[in-house]
Amino acid sequence: MAKNKTNVLEFLFKRKPVLIILLVTALIVLMIIFIFYAYSRHKDIVVQQQKQHLLSIAETIARNLEHFVEEKLQITDMYFDAIADQVDKAKNPKDMLAEAVDKFYAAQSDYMDSVYIVSGGDRIVYRKGIEDDYYLPSEITALKGPLISSIVEQGQAAPGPVFIGSGKYFLLSLIKPVFTADQGQRFILCTINLNKIYDDFIAPTKVGERGYILVKDSCRRIIMYRAKEQVGLDVIKGRQEKYPDLYYRDLENLVGRQMTGEPGTAVYYSYWWTERDIQKVKKISAFTPIRIGKDFWVISVQMDFKEVQTPVKNNLNNILLFSFLIFVILSSSIYVIMRLIKNTETLEIETKYLKELQKTSEELQKSERKAKHYQRLQTIGTLTGGIAHEFNNLLTPIIGYCEILLKNTPQDSDLAEDIGEIYRIARKAEELVKQILGYGRLDPGFHVFKPLHISSHIKESVAMMKKILPPSIEFVEKINSDCGYIYANATMINQIIVNLCTNAYQAMKGTKGTLMIELEKVKKEDLNESLEWDFDQEIYIMLRVTDTGCGMDEETRERIFDPFFTTKEVGEGTGLGLWLVQSIAVEHKGEVFVHSEQGKGSVFSVYLPWMGQEAPEEQFDVSCIKRRDNLHVLFVDDEADTVKVFKKGLTQMGYMVCGETDPISAISKFKVNPDKYDVIITDYVMPKINGLELAEIVKNVRENVKIILITGFMEKNGREIVGKHRIDGFLTKPLSCFDLDVKIQTLFWGTP
């Protein structure tokens, strides 16, 4: 057999170089597509995070300005209310009020330009400060009637409009009503220098290298900005007058959104208005309103989009370089392997021995890495799920095409043997992806549960731990071989053993300790009454791990199952191992208990529901595949490769298959002739709508159509999905045409 494989490989590399080149090219293309997809997703996430950061800056500045104005209003109220009685009782109230204004201005001159005493008309009867005008600005006189009436009615200081003073910068007016016995109703008009406010409160905030913060009022006028010459301009019209030929559509849309008085973010095209050579650039903007009395301003924060995009592009370049290096290494390895094929039979035997030795070493190292690095997997959980999903989508067409080729190739040919080897390796890769997904996620979401012979599985797990833990730890096994089956996920049970044994080893680290592992079947009536848990089944499987380590005090025992709680040194653990053990036990409708005393070691007991002594599984062989000539199948998946392979495979089995990569198009096709299709096979993760939503729409049109949901990654248990949603069957990727045929036949006839 080894000789036949050698001959086939030599044939491929010597006589079919074009095929090898095509395969390598396809691999490169797939890798590039995946990298650019990941880059696009990462860029979107970074941009969204930057938007939220800029919005936080805008909101912080808005709160600070609102607090500042509110503080000035309170100070104005408190001061002039406090002197009201003194002014009324003074011999000359007018002079008394003027003296009070002088003192108030002296105390508040840091930000106030001027303080005025205004008569009931438009005349200023007294002023103190920078401004020398004795007439009210038009912005105030235009609103004098309703504005003054409202302020007098409230009796408190209130903000008025903003206007440009003699210094060519904007002033915010604060108006306080006062009443004197000799002169009647008067008003204190305070003007706050917004230029100083910008310099002290806003300008120190840096937004990247070129970014800036701008404040405009509800009339779109720029009232605070780093470029003082642009203060007072209409943010659109003022710039259109100076640069009439530039692009303003994005800016107009942005300002339109800002004038609604609602916060938001945007990516838009504009210009750096303070630069000599004005070029069209892409910016990120975040804005939020600030309420000033009955009016509002807009705090707008702008940043250069390139400052966000450049680091992401640099990461992409690094990934491409790394991928190229991997490809070079892979190509070199293939070349070396093909050179080894030409060696003598003795060299082949030695190579085989070395490969077996290397495989054993790799398996041991893999087990060690799982035990040592398990605590760190929570940081890569999301990435692991995404990668597993992509690998499942890649493995599905590989398995499908292998199955089609096997069916159409003579079984005694060398090609059939090689295709079978590819099929076997793909299935092995499928199991590997499932393990990666299981170990990489701390929150058990989607896992395949099936009858598990617990005694055999625990023995295998303990054997693995013996290889991992140092020889100073003495293992004592009391595993009852007659414990039957539990309904469980094998990978999750492995996680329980790994975490409990690792925890025991760390408790005995530096000493010669004993680690005892017990497994037995216990009845409900034999359980210790001190266990505070509702045991609702008659028989349970008890897994007990006992160590002779340092033990724990009562305070530690109460917290060991809390996430991120640890007593280890920094860098030695994350405090997630025992929390994960309890989570898995609860997922299996069980519980974990601990008994420990300082200096006497610890005992962890895990109770899992017993399923039965026997759990026969139905076995299906490829030879039992039958043709179903009168069944119409609608196959929906956004991966074109997946649709292609299953359409071809199921058609060869005798089904009449229609494939769609767009779920919306699939629904439209179904609605045109809903009685045509007997079964609909749909992927879960698709653009626009997912598989469950598609199933709901289809069932509303025709209830009795069979629906099978397939997925490469989902955060729900398969049984729960079938029970809670309107689907008839559930399969996980990667899967074969045979798997689908078995599921279809089971749905229609109960057996394939």
Cis before 734? omega within 30: yes
Query: Per the structure block, which two tokens stand in for 80?
Result: 């002039």
The candidate with the shortest Cα–Cα distance to 636, out of 671, 655, 660, 657, is: 660
User: Domain 1-342: which CATH class?
Assistant: alpha beta
- Integer-rounded Cα radius of gyration of the chain: 38
CB-CB contact of 491 with 435 (8 Å): yes
DSSP conformational letter for 200: I
Domain positions in the chain are: 1-342, 450-609, 622-749
Selection from 492, 483, 511, 396 nearest residue 437 by Cα: 492
C-alpha closest to that of 712 among 397, 380, 370: 397
Helix (H), strand (E) at residue 485: strand 485-488
Distant-in-sequence contacts of 419-428, Cβ < 8 A, 24+ apart: 421/5, 422/398, 423/399, 426/395, 426/398, 426/399, 426/402, 426/734, 427/399
Let me know: does 323 contact 316? Beta carbons within 8 Å.
no
* 333: enclosing H helix or E strand: helix 305-341
Cross-strand pairs, 302: 212, 285
- Containing 215, the helix (H) or strand (E) segment is strand 212-217
Bridge pairing between strands 656-660 and 591-597: unpaired
Q: How far is 692 from 616, CA to CA, in rounded Å?
A: 31
Same fold, 1-342 and 450-609: no
Q: Which residues pair with 606 in a beta bridge?
A: 543, 592
Q: Give the integer Cα–Cα distance in Å for 20 and 385.
A: 31
DSSP 420-480: HHHHHHHHHHHHHHHHHHHHH-SS--S---EEEEHHHHHHHHHHHHHHHS-TTSEEEEEE-
Element (H, E) at 624: none
Q: 711 phi and psi, to 5 degrees? A: -160, 155
Strand partners, 486: 452
Per-residue tokens: 342: 């030409």
Strands 474-479 and 295-304: unpaired
Judge contact between 589 and 615, C-beta under 8 A: no
> What pLDDT score does 682 carry?
94
Per DSSP bridges, beta strands 474-479 and 514-523 are parallel
Report which residue type is found at 467: K
740: part of which helix (H) or strand (E)?
Answer: helix 737-749
Q: Decide: 274 and 231 in contact? Cβ < 8 Å.
A: no
Tokens at residue 52, please? 């939220």
The Cα–Cα gap between 336 and 352 comes to: 15
CA distance 125 to 141: 16
Are the beta carbons of 667 and 677 closer than 8 angstroms?
no
pLDDT number for residue 391: 73
User: Looking at residue 672, what is its pLDDT?
Assistant: 92
Q: How many angstroms separate the CA atoms of 159 and 163, rounded? A: 12
Class of domain 450-609: alpha beta
Angle between helices 2-15 and 414-440 in degrees, nearest 10: 90
Give pLDDT, residue 11. 53
Query: Are 710 and 733 within 8 A, CB to CB?
Result: yes
Give the residue carrying structure tokens 């040919």: 413
Among 665, 720, 673, residue whose Cα is nearest residue 692: 720
Residue found by looking up tokens 């996680």 in the block: 495
Angle at 533 (CA atoms; ends 527, 537), nearest 5 degrees = 65
Whether 671 and 654 have beta carbons less than 8 Å apart is answered as no
Q: What is the pLDDT of residues 231-276, one digit of tens each?
A: 888 999 988 888 889 999 999 999 999 999 899 999 999 998 888 8
Residue listed under structure tokens 């105390």: 107
* Sheet of 632-636, strand order: 656-660, 632-636, 679-683, 706-711, 729-732
Q: What is the mean pLDDT of each run of 10 residues along the chain (752 residues)?
A: 52 57 75 76 84 92 92 91 80 83 89 83 76 62 61 79 84 84 75 91 88 91 90 89 90 92 92 86 93 90 87 74 75 66 65 80 64 52 65 77 81 81 77 61 57 88 86 88 87 86 85 90 76 78 90 81 68 68 86 87 91 64 51 92 89 91 93 93 90 92 92 59 77 84 85 54
pLDDT score at 424:
80
Would you tell me the crossing angle of helices 17-82 and 305-341 to the nearest 10 degrees? 160
Q: Which CATH number fits domain 622-749: 3.90.226.10, 3.40.718.10, 3.40.50.2300, 3.30.465.10?
A: 3.40.50.2300
Q: CA–CA separation, 50 vs 63, rounded Å?
A: 20
Convert 636-667 to b/e letters by CB count within 10 Å (16 or more is b).
bbbbebbbbbbbbbbebbebbbbbbbebeebb
In sequence order, what are the residues at sequence separation of 6 or more whose Cβ sits closer than 8 angstroms to the Cβ of residue 431?
Answer: none
